[in-house]
Amino acid sequence: MSREQQPFDPTQPLVATGNLRRRHLVSRVAQGLAIAAAAAAVAVLVIVIWAVVSHGIKAISWDFITKGEPDGIAPDLVGTGIIVGIGTLIAAPIGVLIALFLSEYAGRRGSRAVQLLMDVMNGLPSIIIAVFIYILIVAPTHKQSGLAAAIALSIIEVPLIARGTQEVLNLVPAAQREAADALGVARWRSILTIILPSALGGIVTATLLSVARAAGETAPVLLISSIFSGDTLQFNPLQPLPNVPVRIFQLSEEANPEGFTEAWGLSLVLIVIILVLGLGSRALLNRSKRKLTR
Amino acid sequence: MSATPPAGSTSLKLARSNRQSSARKRADRFGDVALRLICLGAAVLAAIVLVLIAKEVIEGAQPAISKFGFSFITHHEWAPPLEKFGGEGLILGTLITSTIALVVGAPVAISIGIFLALLAPTGIRNVISPLVEMLAAIPSVILGFWGLLIFGPFLQRSVEPFLHDTFGFIPLFGKPETTGASVFTASLILTIMVIPIIASVSRDLFMAVPQDLQDGAAALGSTRWEVIRGVVLPSTLSGMIAASLLGLGRALGEAIAVSQVIGGGTDSHLSLFKTGGTMASIIALQFSSAVSAIHTASLYYLAALLLVIGVASNLLASWVGMRFGSAGGAMR
């Protein structure tokens, strides 16, 4: 600054010069790069979704949704529904109980340990969970099954449900607990009749999000429920069940143009299901958060 | 409890309510203990499952571990018919793909976090944030399928020849193959997968930086970028490292999308444009067609290595977050 020895001229317009101009430029460029990064992410999303929609729409028809192979994918949809449904039925209670333990019972050290446990579980590669369930259930019985796949998915869902539930439990106002305590209500009664009901919206949201995640998981199901024929509807979870992600994977491994069309159709159906679940749960979460923090 | 006892029979009522409340108390004591135990039980069950996973996978790998020992890691020949198994090529493939994913993805993701938390007006943030999370929600099998049919061939036609012509003297940029399946495609698919993870974590980090600190820097004459560089990034450094480690863990363990686009080779090489394999993807590709018990055991060996690396990167992430995050917290 001091090297500019120009006399002060009040008629000059107030513009940045020299170093300041350079700093402004740097700042402008940095902001531009950040905007470009965000735009790139959105662009990738649009490109992928567009590819799935534009190719998938050709496969979609009433028969495609309601019939079995070779015309349609109904058995795959039903199978995915059953596997994910059973997995969620197993995972939801365990996840909610772990969240309750974290927010209501665990001390500082205990909650840190369980939190770490949940983080590690959440970060486990899903192929390892698949290998684990294969060794534990499929190898000894020499039989793949939808039930075993559901158990594998439940291991993926538990940490998701636990974390989502815990976040909402932490939003339940302390005043509610204190009011219950002041009235002499026992801890377990206040948890079951006051805290859980007011967190219900968040619990449902977390569960829906975990369903969306589980519905698209391929690796756990691939080793455990992959030998099936998708020509008729199958409902028995003790048998391997046809399912959407594994079907897409198998079709993508075969170099067959008709198979590719079917795989695009399957992808479109799967993405629509997942996005609807995601958007629905987000709306639900906003509503219940507003209720809790009002 | 709410009923007011009529005058006269006070002592009688009191005695009865005492008896009632002592029954209730007993029930409550039981209920409290029971609910606490059930919750504890759920947490213990999760811990048991985690320990079981480690035990079963390592036990399954035992035949391969005793046959190949640690030379499994340094030996590169993977030949199922000859019963020769060495994981070096696959470990190298895993390292290369995840390193590229992280090196390309983390800066982009952190920039997105900066944009969402600090630059974007609320209206735009509320639109872009869900879109970024939507990117994370796309199933890996669909991303891999898109990579196989559209993205890979595009890279092979337009990007790989250019990189080979320009940087061909570096061994990484060898001659492109005829299909789109390559280590390069797999790396970029992984990049797309880690970006939303790191972006949403770093957005939350940046949102938590106290406004006072930023205002202070701005009042001292900092430009917007200088506020970010001087205040926001240093105070969230540990969190960004933790977020990147999370992304790394995801990239290391991704099996499906990678196996769709990488081509399934198992030899050890550095060229990005050839087919290759990673530990996770070879498990997905070869598991159901394993030719011998030792083949399966070798796949378990890979799974065990993957488990160790995955858990280590997760523990490191939370350690960094806790150890250095608390120092940042004290600064605030």
Domain positions in chain A: 1-59, 62-293
CB B94 within 8 A of CB B278: yes
A73-115: per-residue pLDDT in tens?
A: 999 999 999 999 999 999 999 999 999 999 988 888 888 899 9
Question: Which residues, listed in sequence order, are joined to residue B85 by a DSSP beta bridge?
Answer: B78
Q: Residue A17 pLDDT > 90, yes or no?
A: no
B280 and A282 in contact by Cβ < 8 A?
A: no
A34: nearest CA partner in chain B: B111
Task: State the first-to-last Cα distance of chain A, in angstroms, to the nearest integer.
Answer: 52
- Chain B residues close to A274, C-beta within 8 Å: 137-139
Decide if pLDDT at A72 tops 90: no
Question: In terms of DSSP bridges, do strands B84-85 and B78-79 run parallel, antiparallel, or are they unpaired?
Answer: antiparallel
Task: Confirm if B312 and A156 have CB atoms less than 8 A apart.
Answer: no
Mean pLDDT, range B309-314, rounded to an integer: 91
> Cβ contact (<8 Å) for A121 and B260?
no
Phi first, then psi: give them for residue B85, nearest 5 degrees: -135, 120
Element housing A224 (H / E): helix A219-224
Q: What is the CATH number of domain A62-293?
A: 1.10.3720.10
pLDDT band of A44, cuts 50, 70, 90? very high
Neighbours of A173 (CB within 10 A): 12
Q: With 80 as the cut, is the pLDDT of residue B17 above it? A: no
> What is d(CA B126, CA B23) in angstroms, rounded to the nearest whole number?
53
pLDDT above 60 (res B48): yes
Query: pLDDT > 90: what percent of chain B?
Result: 54
B64 in Cβ contact with B301 (< 8 Å) = yes
Sign (positive/negative) of CA torsion B303, B304, B306, B311? positive
Q: What are the DSSP calls for B286-326, one per residue?
A: HGGG--SHHHHHHHHHHHHHHHHHHHHHHHHHHHHHHHHHH
Coil, strand or helix: which one is B111?
Answer: helix
At B31 the pLDDT is 87
* B276: β partners: B263
B181 has a pLDDT exceeding 90: no
Sequence-distant (≥ 6) Cβ neighbours of residue A129 within 8 angstroms: A152, A155, A156, A219, A220, B53
CA-CA distance, B87 to B245, in Å (whole number)?
Answer: 23
**Predicted pLDDT at B119:** 92
Say if residue A70 is preceded by a cis peptide, omega within 30 of 0. yes
Best of A124, A131, A244 to mutate (most B CBs within 10 Å, chain B) = A131
CA A242, A244, A245 angle in degrees (round to 5)? 115
Higher pLDDT, B331 or B72: B72
Instruction: Please give the Cα distance from B255 to A218 (Å, whole number).
Output: 9
Q: Which of A37, A93, A118 sits opposite B115 (nearest CB)?
A: A37
Q: Give me the residue from A127, A217, A271 closest to B138, CB to CB.
A: A271
pLDDT at residue B325 in the model: 59
Question: Whole-model pTM?
Answer: 0.89
Q: Do B43 and A158 touch (CB under 8 A)?
A: no
In this prediction, residue A1 carries a pLDDT of 46
Helix (H, G, I), strand (E, B) or coil at B221: coil
Q: Is the pLDDT of residue B11 over 70?
A: no
Give the model's pLDDT for residue B5. Answer: 47
ipTM value for the complex: 0.89
Nearest to B313 by CA among B258, B252, B257, B254: B252
Partners of A127 on chain B (C-beta within 8 Å) are 253, 255-256, 280, 283-284, 303, 306
Q: Tell me if the domain spanning B81-331 has CATH number 1.10.3720.10.
A: yes
Closest CA to A158 of B53, B245, B49, B35: B49
Tens digit of pLDDT for each residue in B78-92? 888 888 888 888 899
Contact across the interface for B46 and A104, Cβ inside 8 Å: no
Cβ atoms A182, A244 nearer than 8 A: no
* Amino acid code (one letter) for A131: V
Read off the pLDDT of each residue in B35-41 and give the average, rounded to a whole number: 93
DSSP state of B79: E
